[in-house]
Structure 1
Amino acid sequence: MRKSLTALCCALFILLNSSSFAQENSSAFNPKQLQLSYEITDGKYQNKPQTLAILTLTNTGQAPLPASGWSLYFHSFPALKPKTEGAPVSVEHVNGDLHYLAPTAAFKSLAPGASQRIELVSGGQVVNDSRTPHGFYLVWDHDKCKGHATAPINVKKPDQPWVDWVQAKDIYAQNKVITDIPEEKLTKVFPTPAVYHETGKPFTLSATVPIVTDAAFMREADLLAEHLGTVFGKKPVISMLGTGKAIRLQLKKGMGPEAYELQVNPQEVVIAASTPAGAFYGTQSLKTLIPAAALAKNQSSVSLPGVRVSDAPRFGHRAFMMDVSRNFQSKEQVLKVLDLMALYKLNVLHFHLNDDEGWRLEIPGLPELTEVGGRRGHSIDEKDHLQPSYGSGPEADKTSGSGHYTKTDFIEILKYATERHIKVIPEIETPGHARAAIKSMDARYARLVQEGKPEEAKRYLLRDLEDKSVYRSVQNWNDNVINVALPSTYTFLEKVVDEILAMYQEAGAPIRTIHMGGDEVPNGVWEKSPAVETFIASNPSIKGKYDLWDYFFGKVNDMLKARKLYLSGWEEIGLTRVQQNGKNVYVPNQDFKDKNFHVDVWNNLWGAEDLAYRMANAGYKVVLTNASNLYLDLTYQKAYEEPGLYWAGFLDVDKPFYFIPYDYMKNQKVDTDNKPINPAVVFKGKERLTAYGRTNIVGLQAPLWSEMIKTPERLEYMLLPKLLGLAERAWAPDPAWATEPDAAKANTAYNQAWSAFVNVLGKRELPRLSYYAGGFQYRIPTAGAVVENGKILANVQLPGFIIRYTTDGSEPTEKSKVYTGPISDKGEVKLKVFSPAGRSGRVVTVVNKAS
């Protein structure tokens, strides 16, 4: 019914504009033949933090683009505006990151072969194309219901002297501290175990070696057998009894909940644990003992090094947050990510299932959540689907902007995770970042009103229909916050929570918490809502917006407690605003500090450097989610070719690795612009973690937000190898360099540990991931290079990877020369890093000038 109503609306619009339709239709212009290019001309326009660029429209078709009667929609953050008054176009903001430009009286019909240059100004500096406009499509005035994609925009790499992009010589300097360590001297289990010893007495493993397991570990034995089947082409036999050469999973009482022991000797492999989780982690360590090359093709046998390992994790909460709302990932990709997490002993998938741009989980009884909230495309009313975001295009269901998990899909994901001892924490973003839910329930309301069911229509409504509040979220939405004064809001949340719990029950999956979001609610919300005014009038204890905040999370907490769950959320759920020295500041909320709130604290920037420690010291259970070190969606380097965001800095694999959970201010090395800092100055006066606060640090989490992640390949590129730094820091014991008081000794110890880590990655783990679970498209680093004494010296971040080069101007291939020492050739030299499996990174060009 909803779709037929929208179609009727569009048909009526066309009928009412039939005269203009006839006029515009004579043009026969094909939007796909509108070519667009974007070129930055001044990164410090008017000597301010703003950018001047030229958008060029070129007509490559056979018919003219009319002087009027159309709008060109696009996505951009930040906003763009014409440089001058009287420009040939105006630019208008729709919502979120969606804008459109429309021709003004100064725009002339664009003849075939002609171009129109448009000067545009935007805020900030463009370091990569994440801040350039994209996702263009054209909408005719006579048919505003339909969008037509143009040719893809061509963004020219700017020649910007005002951006200090990373240079090959900078990378070379970073890599100089890395020493090449022979593979036989590397620790063969990853992440680094608590106790590790090699005996020099290997074990020969083949498909004929059975797995003998205690009954308690049958599931873990079966998963191990499945993996060995991929190595040998045949699964080993599993039994509960047996003598002779075998892999043995043994129950041993008195060990920790995730602890295990692993012994490999010439006669047998023994994994001992007190719990299935411990046994499982023992099998994962066994898998990392298998040489990476063994996964490239079926083996008849492999040699495992003789080892004695006694191991347990440092933190009980080792989390990866996967955002599938901004851009969707398939069920199959989620399962692949779970395989990756399991191999490296990460045990929490924080599943970000809804946001402003999408609702991704089927909720029985609320079909609009996925029918409307799970789809994006051009729309004049958002009755069928949400508007486009992040360049998702005009057609719904055509891109990663659309998609959802059915109930069956989600139950399969839960079962898969549970088998691998991964807890899935679903996130229901409230009350902000909730536009997909709000619009979905608006569509439900409209449908039921038309069906003559006004009371049922209001049952799950998430906004006050009479609300005139004006606000703008950080992501530029003006309608993305749930109204917390409505009883229907809590009816909706109870419905969603209960349906999710039913899925967990059907899957046999454990659930102890639901993440309720809570971040980035903008100023101005609820201020002109009649429902809020009525609510406050009948509740004298509620004085204003911030009391509403406490009321909301108090009520949500009670709802979860009634279902034997605790509340998780972003840091804001545990903060309140107070005045200090005449300024509004956020401090830990004393009302909630003893209520087992678990907070993911991401903000460690711009004056909030100590926020995580302040909250832990106040009594909140804190998951360290520091943006500067753990946000995987941040671009690896300050290089135009590198994808990703950079609002919180640049994040290579070293930043998660050098993160010190209990004293992260000690080892913060650079600011958000990658400039060196002096921690003693930057963190002066900041609150340090107390002994009590230390007991409230429950673990670490690395989020991967998906604004710029539209394919599985891009997800894997941003995820790896950075996730391995998180895995090491969350599992491995506290390293000596983290607690060494002498700065020089700490630096020396760190460089040694860093060398060992990148050698393990380059020679063992990334080669493994070229094949594991179907293979991952991890990022391959760029070569470091410098000219010294008339010769080019090069190095690489990951020992074991190969640098190849050319001197004839061509791009290096697998057949190009291998770099083995200084290059004497003069002129332009191109260098490229290759993985052992033959994939390559991006080219670095160095000019060796003739003497």
Structure 2
Amino acid sequence: MFRYFIVALVCTLAFSSEGCGQTTSTQSDKAKTTPNQSAAAPLQLTWEVVEEKHQGKNQTLSALTIQNTGKEALPAQGWTLYFHGSPSFKPKAGEAAPVKTELINGDYLKMMPTANSKALAAGASQRIEFVGAGQVVNQFRAPQGFYLVWDKDKSKGYPVSLNIIKPNHTAIDWETPQSIFTKNQEIKDIPAEKLTKIFPTPAQYKETGQAFTLTQAVPVVADKAFQKEADLLAVQLGNVLGTKPAVKTAGTGKAIKLQQKTGMGPEAYELTVTPQEVVISATTAAGAFYGAQSLLTLLPPSALAKKQTSVPVPGVQVKDAPRFGHRAYMMDVARNFQTKEQVLKVLDLLALYKINVFHFHFSDDEGWRLEIPGLPELTQVGARRGHTQDELDFMNPAYGSGPEVDKLSGSGFYTRADFIEILKYARDRHIKVIPEIETPGHARAAVKAMDSRYARLMKEGKKVEAEQYLLRDPQDKSVYRSVQNFNDNVMNVALPSTYNFLEKVTDELLGMYKEAGAPIQTIHFGGDEVPNGVWEKSPAVQALMASNPAVKTVDDVWYYYFGKVNAMLKARSLYLSGWEEVGLTKVRTNGKLSYVANPDFVKENVHVDVWNNLGQNIDLAYRMANAGYKVVLTNVTHYYMDLSYQKNYDELGHNWGGYLDVDKPFYFIPFDYMKSMRVNENNDPVSPSAFAGKEQLKPEARANIIGLQAPLWSEIVKTPERLEYMLLPKLMGLAERAWAPDPSWATNPGSAESKTAYTQAWSEFTNVLGKRELPRLSYYAGGFNYRIPTAGAKVENGKVLANVQLPGLTIRYTTNGAEPTVKSKPYAGPIAEKGTVKLAVFDAAGRSGRTVTVENK
């Protein structure tokens, strides 16, 4: 899941640009009294890196400058700055510093004046140095989300603006224009007419040269079994033609036909385009739907730019079926929220590229986003964030969401009606929605919501009702910190009330699926990252151990819990899904702890999403598949969409699992993925010794690899635009690898023949993206904010050479120091002009990627 190393310097992307409020009355340093509480002193904060790898260690020395921009003095005492960052962020001067920092919970900290603090006069500034663990690889690593609270009114917070100064990067090996140029050199520019015109790549594809002309007069004629698919196709064609074509059950003449044909696979289809007709044949409605999506990608992208009177459809003969039946995208809306409209837009994207599973991560430590009838606190408290002293009405801010409650993206939830609409939308597009109830860890939002419910009902004298859904043991004295630094985010699984809660939520979910007419076979119950120390001092757990012979240690509580959850789901004709930990058991040998596949759950049809292929866990997915588990490959190294595209300060994203550009999802080899692990988390070549003694996937266990999944965790995703940027075009590699046949280059990727085949395949893929699919996505479903690549550039023989990762996009440049615009010169060959050359890549819609600069001396 979202894992180990990010807590070193966790923070947020966006920061407030608002001021702190109005001026306050004058205060002297000696008086140490607090200003009028109705307003806050205006402040301006500036943060900058002073020294990377400070003292030769993996830590950063930085400075925070506090400037009083008001007309009155900021008093020495009586205030607190709240912010988000790493608990390691401490003043360098220690006890002699004018401020101290303390962790509240998670990424949420506070900074308070010490006895060494002095009043800050109007217009004056104070610079304070801090040391924090890790390196500042991009702006996301900076402390952010600052706001001010006065001691005499601790209920109100005032946002403080923050300016971040870009560091010089003297000690970090950054991606450069030259290194990008070298990577791009293997990419060939392939003429558009020679590209496969259906994406993902079909199993069998042949062009005939005999096109079909699509107009408003062409009806969609469908067998009764495919009427829903025909109607949806007609709606999509209507978006191109301006008028929805007629949908019929019979007819003669030119038409698009959806015909049922027996004997084909569950998602297979055939597509034939001749000058007279377009015929989609399939056995199932899903197959007919995917044939229709292939027809849509056959249309030239330019057809979506404006309404068309006629559109040429290339003549093709296609026979197609997916490689994997489980092709998944996981959307985290718990850490930061996305609207229902954005969810529907993402479903349109998934449908177009034949991704058929939507893993809906709606609950986590920082938010619970789905209305559950009968448990209003889940969304009244768990779905809202803001400055609070007790979290009874809403939760603490997280990831810089700020002090004001009900502000996107910290706050927000889906009503029951919203979720039913989402389910219907997905159902019509043959997308299964797998809901995830994060348990027993990563459950802080649910725990706090039920605490609020408990407090409310106890106040009303309803003790039995108050305890009905309580998720923690009030007498528990256990001490722990999760990997994200929470000390109160784990459900107590010895309490009967915890199972009351899970059954209530499960049954309400099933009611929503039933009302939506949407299929559901499983619920994901999380299961990852429960920290050491949890439950050890819980009287409820001690009582369970005393009464249940099968629960001898705290470790056994884990198996007790998931055994009960599994039984609950089986009683409802569902199977259990979870992160890999659900299927692992602890083994201690000579005092050393290790994890092995738990044989008890194999026979229970438990499905696991395995993300961890780092360090000693490189082969974990194969070990679990070999043991008999149904495994979804969710490898962090190749499919975590929230990882930064490149090792560059201006490229926002995580890096604890490495860097993830467009190529990694594409060159992933599902049945031999260790051969896909070319670089480590630092972008250095992986040593072959890393794979020594690791378990390979057994031939008979291949059937246990049921699919691939790309998650997008949302700690840094605060807007729809950022979501789309992190998702696209990386998701296209997942779509290709999950659907398209096993490529020839994957059989023996180290051979010269395979390397040549890979270079050709990679070139075809990048050309398809640059010349067909990204231009399409500029308009499809309202248009997507996909990432435009950074130009590669180098100086050779006194001239600047440039190239691009995705042929079809245009490089533009300037030589006068100005930022390139859509009107700047297009790159057509080596640039002879001397001086500072700035280059950027532009798409056909006029958007550009990051600018790079080279000096041609």
TM-score after normalising by structure 1: 0.96
Q: Within 5 Å, which residues of 2 pair with 1:413-812?
A: 413-580=422-589, 582-678=591-687, 680-740=688-748, 743-812=751-820
1:105 to 109, 115, 122: 115
Q: Report what 2:125 is aligned to.
A: 115
Residue identity matched to 1:52: L
Offset, 1:399: 2.4
Q: Report what 1:6 is aligned to.
A: none
1:241 to 222, 225, 250: 250
**2: CA distance, partners of 1:162 / 1:327:** 32
| Residues 235, 244 of structure 2: 8 Å contact kept | yes
Residue identity matched to 2:565: V
Q: Within 5 Å, which residues of 2 pair with 1:211-230?
A: 211-230=220-239
2:221 partner SS: strand
Q: Report what 2:214 is aligned to.
A: 205
Give the gaps of 5 or more residues in structure 2: 1-29
Q: Report what 1:58 is aligned to.
A: 67
Q: Report what 1:164 is aligned to.
A: 173
Offset, 1:607: 1.0
Query: Could you report, residue by residue, the CA deviation over 1:1-48 in whole angstroms, capped at 9, with x for unpaired residues?
Result: xxxxxxxxxxxxxxxxxxx999423598634x2100111111111111
Q: Report what 2:826 is aligned to.
A: 818
**1: CA distance, partners of 2:37 / 2:627:** 67
| Residues 793, 802 of structure 2: 8 Å contact kept | yes
| Residues 665, 737 of structure 2: 8 Å contact kept | yes
Q: Report what 2:414 is aligned to.
A: 405
Residue identity matched to 1:441: M
In the alignment, structure 1 residue 133 sits paired with structure 2 residue 143: yes
**2: CA distance, partners of 1:413 / 1:247:** 28
**1: CA distance, partners of 2:216 / 2:336:** 41
**2: CA distance, partners of 1:601 / 1:819:** 44
Offset, 1:582: 4.0
In the alignment, structure 1 residue 24 sits paired with structure 2 residue 34: yes
| Residues 180, 793 of structure 2: 8 Å contact kept | yes
Offset, 1:585: 0.4
**2: CA distance, partners of 1:55 / 1:394:** 21
**1: CA distance, partners of 2:50 / 2:249:** 71
Offset, 1:79: 2.9
| Residues 37, 153 of structure 2: 8 Å contact kept | no
Q: Within 5 Å, which residues of 2 pair with 1:357-396?
A: 357-396=366-405
1:607 partner SS: helix
**1: CA distance, partners of 2:714 / 2:612:** 18
1:200 partner SS: coil
1:725 partner SS: helix
Offset, 1:545: 1.7
1:150 to 124, 143, 160: 160
Residue identity matched to 2:727: L
| Residues 784, 796 of structure 1: 8 Å contact kept | yes
Offset, 1:741: 6.2
1:155 partner SS: strand
Give the gaps of 5 or more residues in structure 1: 1-19
Query: Could you report, residue by residue, the CA deviation over 1:491-548 in whole angstroms, capped at 9, with x for unpaired residues?
Result: 1000000000000000000000000000000000000111111111111221112100
1:471 partner SS: coil
Offset, 1:583: 1.2
**2: CA distance, partners of 1:643 / 1:170:** 19
Residue identity matched to 1:716: E
**2: CA distance, partners of 1:631 / 1:716:** 14
Cα distance, 1:27–1:270 mapped onto 2, change above 3 Å: closer
| Residues 479, 533 of structure 2: 8 Å contact kept | yes
Residue identity matched to 2:131: V
| Residues 393, 399 of structure 1: 8 Å contact kept | no
Q: CA RMSD in A?
A: 1.2
**2: CA distance, partners of 1:374 / 1:342:** 28
**2: CA distance, partners of 1:616 / 1:175:** 36
**1: CA distance, partners of 2:550 / 2:141:** 45
**2: CA distance, partners of 1:67 / 1:241:** 83
**2: CA distance, partners of 1:684 / 1:130:** 35
In the alignment, structure 1 residue 290 sits paired with structure 2 residue 299: yes
Offset, 1:740: 3.0
Q: How many corresponding residue pairs? A: 827
| Residues 27, 66 of structure 1: 8 Å contact kept | no
Offset, 1:77: 2.9
**1: CA distance, partners of 2:640 / 2:261:** 38
Q: Report what 1:330 is aligned to.
A: 339
Query: Could you report, residue by residue, the CA deviation over 1:108-149 in whole angstroms, capped at 9, with x for unpaired residues?
Result: 111111001111000011100121100000011111111111
1:24 partner SS: coil
2:676 partner SS: coil
| Residues 29, 63 of structure 1: 8 Å contact kept | no
**2: CA distance, partners of 1:778 / 1:593:** 40
Deviation >3 Å, runs of 4+:
20-23, 26-31
Q: Which moved more, 1:748-757 or 1:539-548?
A: 539-548
1:666 partner SS: helix
Residue identity matched to 1:296: A
**1: CA distance, partners of 2:40 / 2:849:** 37
Q: Report what 1:11 is aligned to.
A: none
**2: CA distance, partners of 1:578 / 1:719:** 38
**2: CA distance, partners of 1:247 / 1:199:** 18
**2: CA distance, partners of 1:635 / 1:789:** 33
**2: CA distance, partners of 1:138 / 1:544:** 46
Query: Could you report, residue by residue, the CA deviation over 1:268-289 in whole angstroms, capped at 9, with x for unpaired residues?
Result: 0000000100000000000001
Query: Could you report, residue by residue, the CA deviation over 1:583-613 in whole angstroms, capped at 9, with x for unpaired residues?
Result: 1101101111211010000000011000000
| Residues 29, 65 of structure 1: 8 Å contact kept | no
In the alignment, structure 1 residue 256 sits paired with structure 2 residue 265: yes
Cα distance, 1:143–1:741 mapped onto 2, change above 3 Å: closer
**1: CA distance, partners of 2:554 / 2:663:** 41
Offset, 1:579: 2.1
Offset, 1:581: 5.3
| Residues 256, 274 of structure 1: 8 Å contact kept | yes
| Residues 205, 304 of structure 1: 8 Å contact kept | yes
| Residues 749, 755 of structure 2: 8 Å contact kept | no
Cα distance, 1:60–1:546 mapped onto 2, change above 3 Å: same
**2: CA distance, partners of 1:836 / 1:564:** 50
Cα distance, 1:306–1:30 mapped onto 2, change above 3 Å: same
**2: CA distance, partners of 1:480 / 1:791:** 58
Offset, 1:458: 0.2
| Residues 33, 75 of structure 2: 8 Å contact kept | no
| Residues 301, 776 of structure 2: 8 Å contact kept | yes
**1: CA distance, partners of 2:756 / 2:689:** 23
